[in-house]
């Protein structure tokens, strides 16, 4: 178990490249494993979470070779998976667990999937319930009216009921149902009241699957025909905007900063962080915009600015759910209060991120005006200007985004900060520390056991 020691800096500068998008990397492995032929992935994120998905498909008989940021998948197609010899292990990856439930629900064999202690405490009824309505046979642990891993999935006959499920705005839930829909009889439809990230839909279309997509106000419905075949294709993955968010906020807050982040995914369902930061008067520009493999990407240029408080509404949360911890840091440095509504989903992430945000602010001497299961109110401008709050000792709670948030706050403190239990960063951003060292003076960041 490692800790990171951080000394404060005056600014960030330089040009960096962010590793491949985690969400897209998972989906590239999943759909590549269901597409007959050879799929070559460039820009693959070789993180712990994504490698859990790779290992599971290897257990299911798919040939996958990974070397750095490249992966080559050779598959027998949609019905080519084989019964695994042992348990499938998702580690700490909620994406792996939830999306694989959709894939496994359509197989003609029995499988069992589990995860680490943290993942086995995360609620899964939101996925298992709509899958069961399709005919899936899934058995898990039931506690307090919800359901938890490990799960046993037996052969079922999937078909879509007349009434499509109405979902909480979750890309993982939507994706699990669409993946199961590939194996279902007839057409499978899902509807969200607020549109969540659409990487699965984009990639299904890229692999040759026809989808019916209907947008209704802020909501969106998606339909897929059972038995649709995927055609293997090469795919290039952009940099992860959720990883870029830490540098976007740091550069915005530290006076005199100017950075360029190359080739970052700017899918409209993921750019909530950019929209909110611009609303807070951040100096952010996009250049070299283009679409490759069905996903938009661009270079992001960030300069320091005087941030202003804002209000984030519930309908915006699906587009920035993973970035809320670091957005809270931007809010602390802004003038005027920031209110973030509709944040209850943060309680069931890798940690209870609502509590983690409150605790990490407390470590640095920052009090939240309001903390509840429904909203966060961050005062802003109250003893939170760079170099005016003390360094601290922080615990990551085993949550990669909380660990990185603590490290970024340490750069802005007036004394040394230590963040404990930082190995969890490897689940999404293995070279986070190396990139940060390139943007800061020598000796700013130190890793110790």
- Count of domains observed in the chain: 2
Q: Which of 170, 199, 226 is the last residue of a domain?
A: 226
Q: Is the pLDDT of residue 379 over 90?
A: no
What pTM was estimated for this model as a whole?
0.94
**How high is the pLDDT of residue 447?**
96
Instruction: Give the contacts of 48 (CB within 8 A, at least 6 positions apart).
Output: 91, 92, 93, 426, 427, 430
Beta strands at 88-89 and 295-303: parallel, antiparallel or unpaired:
unpaired
Whether residue 128 lies inside any domain: the answer is yes
**Where are the extended beta strands (E) located within 18-125?**
37-42, 63-67, 70-75, 88-89, 111-114
For the residues 325-341, what does the mean pLDDT come to? Answer: 94
High-pLDDT (> 70) share of the chain, %: 96
Whether residue 261 sits in one domain with residue 198: no
CATH, residue 341: 3.65.10.10
Whether residue 87 sits in one domain with residue 169: yes
Q: How many angstroms separate the CA atoms of 78 and 280, rounded? A: 46
Cα–Cα nearest to 335, from 378, 364, 300? 378
Helices (H) and strands (E) in the chain, counts: 12, 24
Whether residue 301 sits in one domain with residue 255: yes
Instruction: Give the contacts of 448 (CB within 8 A, at least 6 positions apart).
Output: 2, 3, 4, 5
Tokens of 26: 């998972």
Whether residue 416 sits in one domain with residue 324: yes
**How high is the pLDDT of residue 163?**
47
**How high is the pLDDT of residue 325?**
96
**How high is the pLDDT of residue 110?**
98
Helices 199-206 and 22-34, interaxial angle, to 10°? 40
Q: Which of 202, 226, 250 is the last residue of a domain?
A: 226
Whether residue 442 lies inside any domain: the answer is yes
| C-alpha distances in Å from residue 352, one per residue of 21, 315, 332, 344, 383 | 23, 21, 20, 10, 26
**Where residue 183 falls among pLDDT bands split at 50, 70, 90?**
very high
What domain range includes position 117?
22-226
**How high is the pLDDT of residue 173?**
93
Whether residue 33 lies inside any domain: the answer is yes
- Burial of residue 437, with CB atoms counted within 10 A of its CB: 0-12 exposed, 13-18 middle, 19 or more buried: middle
Whether residue 428 lies inside any domain: the answer is yes
**How high is the pLDDT of residue 167?**
61
Q: Which of 226, 247, 266 is the last residue of a domain?
A: 226
Whether residue 340 lies inside any domain: the answer is yes
Whether residue 398 sits in one domain with residue 278: yes
3-state secondary structure 383-439: CCCCCCCCCCEEECCCCHHHHHHHHHHHHHCCCCEEEECCHHHHHCCCCHHHHHHHC
SS3 content of the chain, % helix, strand, coil (to 5): 35, 30, 40
Whether residue 305 sits in one domain with residue 222: no
SS3 call for 113:
strand
Whether residue 213 sits in one domain with residue 101: yes
Cα–Cα nearest to 17, from 352, 247, 287? 247
Q: Is the pLDDT of residue 187 over 50?
A: yes
**Where residue 162 falls among pLDDT bands split at 50, 70, 90?**
very low
Cα–Cα nearest to 138, from 114, 120, 156? 156
Whether residue 379 lies inside any domain: the answer is yes
**Where is average pLDDT lowest: 142-146, 308-312, 408-412?**
142-146
**How high is the pLDDT of residue 97?**
98
Q: What is the pLDDT of residues 76-111, one digit of tens each?
A: 999 999 999 999 999 999 999 999 999 999 999 999
Whether residue 231 lies inside any domain: the answer is no
Give the Cα-Cα-Cα angle 93, 97, 102 (nearest 5 degrees). 145
Asked whether 299 and 263 are in contact (CB, 8 A), the reply is: yes
For the residues 51-70, what does the mean pLDDT come to? Answer: 97
Helices 241-253 and 324-333, interaxial angle, to 10°? 10
Number of residues that make up the chain: 449
Whether residue 325 sits in one domain with residue 300: yes
Tokens of 369: 């005006």
**Where are the extended beta strands (E) located within 28-145?**
37-42, 63-67, 70-75, 88-89, 111-114, 137-143
User: What is the pLDDT of the chain when averaged over all its residues?
Assistant: 93
Q: Which of 299, 322, 399, 421 is catalytic?
A: 322
Whether residue 317 sits in one domain with residue 388: yes
Instruction: Give the contacts of 217 (CB within 8 A, at least 6 positions apart).
Output: none
Whether residue 275 sits in one domain with residue 180: no
Q: Is the pLDDT of residue 381 over 70?
A: yes
Active site residue 212: no
Q: Is the pLDDT of residue 371 over 90?
A: no
Whether residue 278 sits in one domain with residue 213: no
Whether residue 252 sits in one domain with residue 173: no
Whether residue 282 lies inside any domain: the answer is yes
């Amino acid at each position: 178990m490692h800790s990171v020691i951080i000394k404060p800096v005056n600014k960030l500068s330089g040009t960096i490249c962010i590793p491949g998008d985690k969400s897209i990397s998972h989906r590239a492995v999943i759909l590549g494993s269901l597409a007959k032929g050879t799929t070559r992935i460039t820009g693959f994120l070789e993180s712990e979470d994504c490698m859990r998905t790779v290992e599971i498909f290897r257990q299911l008989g798919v040939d996958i070779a990974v070397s750095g940021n490249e992966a080559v998948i050779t598959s027998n197609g949609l019905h080519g998976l084989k019964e695994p010899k042992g348990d499938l292990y998702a580690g700490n990856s909620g994406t792996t667990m939830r999306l694989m439930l959709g894939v496994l629900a359509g197989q003609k064999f029995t499988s069992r999937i589990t995860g680490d202690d943290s993942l086995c405490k995360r609620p899964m009824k939101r996925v298992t319930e709509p899958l069961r309505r399709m005919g899936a046979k899934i058995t898990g642990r039931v506690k307090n009216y919800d359901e938890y891993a490990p799960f046993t999935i037996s052969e079922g006959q999937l078909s879509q009921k007349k009434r499509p499920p109405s979902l909480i705005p979750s890309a993982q839930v939507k994706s699990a149902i669409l993946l199961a829909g590939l194996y279902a009889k007839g057409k499978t439809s899902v509807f969200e009241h607020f549109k969540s990230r659409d990487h699965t839909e984009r990639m299904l279309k890229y692999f040759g699957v026809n989808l019916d997509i209907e947008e209704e106000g802020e909501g969106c419905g998606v339909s897929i025909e059972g038995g649709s075949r995927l055609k293997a294709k090469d795919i290039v993955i952009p940099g992860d905007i959720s990883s870029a968010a830490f540098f976007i906020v740091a550069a915005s807050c530290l006076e005199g900063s100017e950075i360029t982040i190359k080739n970052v995914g700017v899918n409209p369902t993921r750019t909530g962080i950019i929209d909110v930061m611009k609303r807070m008067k951040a100096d952010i520009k996009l250049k070299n915009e283009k679409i490759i493999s069905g996903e938009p990407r661009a270079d992001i240029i960030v300069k320091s600015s005087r941030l202003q408080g804002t209000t984030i509404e519930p309908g915006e949360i699906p587009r920035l759910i993973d970035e809320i911890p670091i957005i809270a840091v931007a809010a602390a440095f802004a003038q005027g209060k920031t209110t973030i509504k509709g944040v209850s989903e943060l309680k069931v992430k890798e940690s209870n991120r609502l509590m983690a945000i409150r605790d990490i602010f407390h470590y640095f001497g920052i009090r939240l005006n309001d903390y509840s299961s429904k909203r966060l109110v961050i005062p802003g401008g109250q003893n939170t200007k760079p170099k005016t709050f003390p360094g601290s000792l922080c615990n990551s709670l085993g949550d990669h985004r909380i660990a990185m948030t603590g490290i970024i706050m340490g750069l802005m403190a007036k004394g040394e900060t230590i963040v404990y239990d930082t190995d969890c960063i490897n689940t999404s951003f293995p070279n986070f520390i190396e990139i940060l060292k390139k943007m800061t003076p020598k000796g700013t960041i130190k890793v110790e056991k």
